[in-house]
Amino acid sequence: MGDDQALVQTLRDMAWLATPMALRVAATLRLADQFGDAGATVTELAERTSTSAPALTRVLAHLVTLTVLTHTNGVYHLTELGRQLRSDADNELLLELDINSAVGRAELAYVELEHAVRTGEAAYPHRYGRDFWSDLAETPALRESFDAKMTRRFQAIAPQIAQRYDWSRFATIVDVGGGQGAVLSAILRAHPSVRGQLVDLPATAARAAEEFAAAGLTDRATAVAGSFFEPLPAGADAYLLSDILHDWDDANVHEILTRCAEAAGTAGTILIVEAVHGLGAHTAIDLSMLVFFGGRERTLDEFATLIGAHGLQLKSVAEIADNRTLLEVTIS
């Protein structure tokens, strides 16, 4: 094969959808849970997953090519790689790859990337007829899987966020759009003098309250149902936005910052934790923000422009966790 042919094949392999879709279908079917120690035949696997054996055979053959499975004498076995797709594996792959999960469903909207590139609009509504957040509001299972994914995302970096900044400067913190409370819980455990309040949509806030109770934090942590597009609890020392603003276009970011500034008043601080473009933000995640929401990973200059429009000042910038930057914002 000549050099040009090799380059063409490299691009073809990078673009071929067979591999990601085979893996996503395997995750959606929970295929890796069906083997056991003895392995399984295609007939057994088709019965256990309610699928067509001839069609499933083709998926299995590709998974063998990918070294996810082995195939000997008609019996398929999981490899060490394939075991990462089991439900009991300690990772978040199924929350990402299951096409019926919030993130898995959203990633299928990449087929509408051309629309997003031509218009600058999110691809998700073009594919599904309504935006991502409306889908979550209307479908509890999607909301639950999204909350679980966000909780899992922060498990690794929440302790870093809690330890790499002096949160004890603030007596009270409002975690705006704080999900199920992973970050706020980590902060409160690391800084016993701090009290916190989490604001999120009703089902998520209810789950956060349960998590605070399980962590023994009910004396210092509360969760209230609300939206960051509505008035927030006023008078706290700090308002935290963790991985929130990249989900939204500039118009919506301005609305969120307006609500935070109103609640913070003249004495409060707004703390933005984000992956900043040029400081660790991943290009694929940046594309996902466009496809899912019409949002993006912003540069420091873009943040400064957004913040300045509200009479706010970007006081300091610091690395707060792996691929996350803390922007401390105060009243000018």
Q: Which residues are catalytic?
A: 246
Cα 200 versus chain centre, distance: 15
Count the Cβ atoms, other than its own, within 10 Å of residue 149. Answer: 19
Q: What is the rounded CA–CA span in Å between residue 289 and residue 283?
A: 10
Indicate the SS3 state at residue 270: strand
C-alpha 2/C-alpha 282 separation (Å) is 33
Q: Which two tokens stand for residue 291?
A: 């496809």
Rounded CA separation 166/129 (Å)? 44
What's the token pair of residue 105? 């469903």
Closest CA to 177 of 315, 86, 270: 270
Residues 326 and 274: beta-carbon distance below 8 Å: no
Q: At what angle do helices 250-264 and 300-308 cross, to 10 degrees?
A: 60
Question: Which amino acid is it at 65?
Answer: T
